[in-house]
Structure 1
Amino acid sequence: MIEVQGVTRTYGGFTAVDDVTFRCEPGRVTGFLGPNGAGKSTTMRIMVGLTAATKGTVTIDGLPFHQIPNPGRHVGVLLDASAQHGGRSGREVLTLGARMMGLPDSRVDEMLTLVSLTPSEAKRKIRNYSLGMKQRLGIAHALLGDPKVLILDEPANGLDPAGIRWMRGLLKSYADRGGTVLLSSHLLHEVEQVADEMILIGRGRIVAQGDRETLLRQAGPSQALVTSLDNPALAAALEADGVASEVAGTGLRVHASTETVGRAALAAGIVLTDLRSGGAGLEDLFLELTADTQREGNPA
């Protein structure tokens, strides 16, 4: 478990992180979302003792990071995939990590296989790695000590679509085994597919948090976009149930949930060819709550 309580970090007159409080539970993937410069990376650096908090505390399973014995066996960290010595090979990096943690060298081979780095790639110098290969090596290093907690900053950067899907499955299975995962990103769609809970941060402050359903309720009332083989008949059936709708393109925009629309169509015997949510989504909520931090539409 990760517990962040009232964490603030200031640099002179600038506040990078402002009274941030949240908790990451075991068995869950927590997405930490915000625009570039919102304070995500600073918060994560504070968690692992690389940056001191001006005030507030962070504990991992009840202890500050610097008090955790052999921390790599308890907390896996990936904050910057490019922060490895470019003159070392991937295998050398993992071997040094394994020996520092008191692990057998066989663990290195297990991790290289897990992240799909081939024997020839493992022998190459990191300066010759692509960003995606560096990310895979960084994930291997974070998982090396079989930790109970993972703290990952933008781990999908540089991965191709197959790599991103692989990473999602890896993190989900890790949480399903009882692990705690904190995953930061500025890409909402990427995190939405794997996170059980999401924390939105803007200008160093938490602006929203909760699971997907909770955040969608905050985004606004339910709406649906629907197309059927008989749109006028569907509109009439919805009106009879007290549900308003209007024409939208080749279909209808309905001021109700997709479930309500589906039930009305079934009762009226109308075939639907398309039915989807048409209300404000998580992306709309994200952009609305962090609007004053976006470069687009905000002159310097």
Structure 2
Amino acid sequence: MIIVDHLTRKYGSFAAVDDVSFVAQPGRVTGFLGPNGAGKTTTMRVMVGLTPATSGSVTIGGHAYRDIPNPGRHVGVLLDASAQHAGRTGREVLTIGARTMGLPDSRIDEMLELVSLTGPESKRRLRNYSLGMRQRLGIAHALLGDPSVLILDEPANGLDPAGIRWMRGLLKGYADRGGTVLLSSHLLHEVEQIADEMILIGRGRVVAQGDKKSLLQGQAASTLVTSTDNTRLAEVLRAQGIAVTPAGEGLRAECAALDVGRAAAEHGLVLTDLRTGSAGLEDLFLELTASTQREGHPQAATQQGASA
């Protein structure tokens, strides 16, 4: 279990992480979601002792990371897949890790096979690895000590669609066996498919948390509809005070499906598609963090580096 308790990290007067609190539970994948510069990486660096907290605390299994003996056997960490020495081979990276943790060399081959790095690939220098290969190696290193907790920062970066699907299955299986997974990303759609719990952060502060169902409760109902005359249908709905916007080949109407069907029937309009289209996680997140998005807030660009 990871417990983050009123964590704050300041750089001068700027709070990269501002009074953040949440819990990542065993047996669950917790998604830590936010735009670039939201404070995700800074929070994770504090978790593993790379950046000191200004105030607040983080415990993993009841202990501060620095107090965990042989931490790689308890906490697997991937913060930057490109941080390893570029002149080493993939096998050398895992060999150093295994020997540091007191693991047998057989564990190296197990991890290479797990992440689908072949024998020849494992003997190549990291400078010749693609980003996707570095991510796979980083995941192998994080899992090397068979830890009970995983802390992964943007692990899907550089992975192709097959690699992302593989990673989802790997992490879901890990959590199903009782492991704790904290997964940060700005790829909301990908995390939405795997996370049991989601922490939404913007400009260093938690703006919402919970499972998908609880996060989306209370969102305004909307309907996706397509008709043989979308222009006329939009006119009819707007005349009744219903907000309508284009959506794919049809329209999104901010009302219940019943209201759309009734309006279409009254005016003899034929519908070819009618379904609930409530706002998804991405819509909710963009709404909650509107002032922190780079496009919507000039300061976000200047604060990007300090609060990644």
The two structures have a TM-score, normalised by structure 2, of: 0.83
Change (3 A) 1:98 1:223: same
Is the partner of 2:152 in helix, strand or coil? Answer: strand
Partner of 2:26: 26
Could you tell me which amino acid in structure 1 is paired with residue 159 of structure 2? Answer: L
Worse overlay, 161-170 or 285-294: 285-294
Deviation at 1:221, TM superposition (A): 2.8
SS at structure 2 position matched to 1:124 = coil
CA distance in 2, matches of 1:245, 1:16: 38
CA deviation after TM superposition for structure 1 residue 228, in Å = 8.7
Match of 1:296 in 2: 295
Partner Cα separation in structure 1 for residue 42 and residue 245 of structure 2? 47
Offset at 1:42? 0.3
Equivalent residue runs for 1:159-238 within 5 Å: 159-218=159-218, 220-226=219-225
State the partner residue of 2:45. Answer: 45
CA displacement, residues 91-139 of structure 1 (integer Å, 9 cap, x when unaligned): 0000110111111000000000000000000000011101000000000
Q: How does 1:145-156 map onto structure 2 within 5 Å?
A: 145-156=145-156
CA deviation after TM superposition for structure 1 residue 7, in Å: 0.4
Question: CA contact under 8 A between 1:226 and 1:254: conserved in structure 2?
Answer: no
The aligned residue for residue 114 of structure 2 is 114
Gaps of 5+ in 2: 229-241, 261-270, 300-308
Does the residue aligned with 1:32 lie in a helix, a strand or coil?
A: strand
Q: Which residue matches 1:141?
A: 141
Distance 1:161 1:183 in 2: 18
Equivalences, count? 277
Residue 112 and residue 54 in structure 1: after superposition, are their counterparts in 2 closer, same or farther (change >3 A)? Answer: same
Q: 1:71 to 1:275 in 2, by over 3 A?
A: farther
1:297 offset after TM fit, Å? 3.5
Q: Which AA in structure 1 matches 2:55?
A: K
Change (3 A) 1:246 1:286: closer
Q: Which amino acid aligns with 1:98?
A: A
Q: Is the 8 A contact 2:7 2:20 kept in 1?
A: yes
- Secondary structure at the aligned position of 1:255 is classed as coil
Structure 2 distance, partners of 1:297, 1:245, is: 23
Distance 2:55 2:114 in 1: 39
Q: 1:280 to 1:247 in 2, by over 3 A?
A: closer
Question: Which aligned pairs between 1:206-285 and structure 2 lie closer than 5 A?
Answer: 206-218=206-218, 220-226=219-225, 253=253, 255-256=255-256, 274=273, 276-285=275-284
Q: Could you tell me whether the CA contact under 8 Å between 2:220 and 2:254 is conserved in 1?
A: no
Residue 70 (structure 1) aligns with: 70
**Aligned partner of 1:113: which letter?**
E
What TM-score comes out, normalization by structure 1 length? 0.85
RMSD of the alignment, in Å? 2.6
Partner of 2:286: 287
| Kept after mapping to 2: 8 A contact 1:30/1:196 | yes
Q: Is this contact kept in 2: 1:227–1:275, CA < 8 A?
A: yes
Q: Which residue of 2 aligns with 1:131?
A: 131
- Going from structure 1 to structure 2, the CA distance change for 1:65 and 1:215 (only over 3 Å counts) comes to same
The answer to whether structure 1 residue 12 and structure 2 residue 12 are counterparts is yes
Matched-pair contact (CA < 8 Å) for 2:257–2:275: no
Q: Per the alignment, do residues 129 and 250 of structure 1 end up closer, same or farther by CA in structure 2, a change over 3 Å counting? A: closer
Deviates more, 1:176-185 or 1:281-290: 281-290
1:210-251: CA deviation from partner (whole Å, max 9, x where unpaired)? 100111114x1333325699xxxxxxxxxxxxxx99998768
Asked if residue 88 in structure 1 is aligned to residue 105 in structure 2, the reply is: no
**Aligned pair in 2 of structure 1 residues 12, 226: CA closer, same or farther (>3 Å)?**
same
Q: 1:203 to 1:107 in 2, by over 3 A?
A: same
Unaligned runs of 5+ in 1: 230-243, 262-271
Q: Distance in 2 between matches of 1:206 and 1:247?
A: 30
CA shift for structure 1 position 256: 3.8
Report the 3-state secondary structure (helix = DSSP H, G, I; strand = E; otherwise coil) of the residue aligned with 2:217: helix
Aligned-partner SS, 2:104: coil
Whether contact under 8 Å (1:29, 1:181) holds in the other structure is: yes
Maintained 8 Å contact 1:18/1:204: yes
Q: In terms of mean alpha carbon deviation, does 272-281 or 53-62 score higher?
A: 272-281
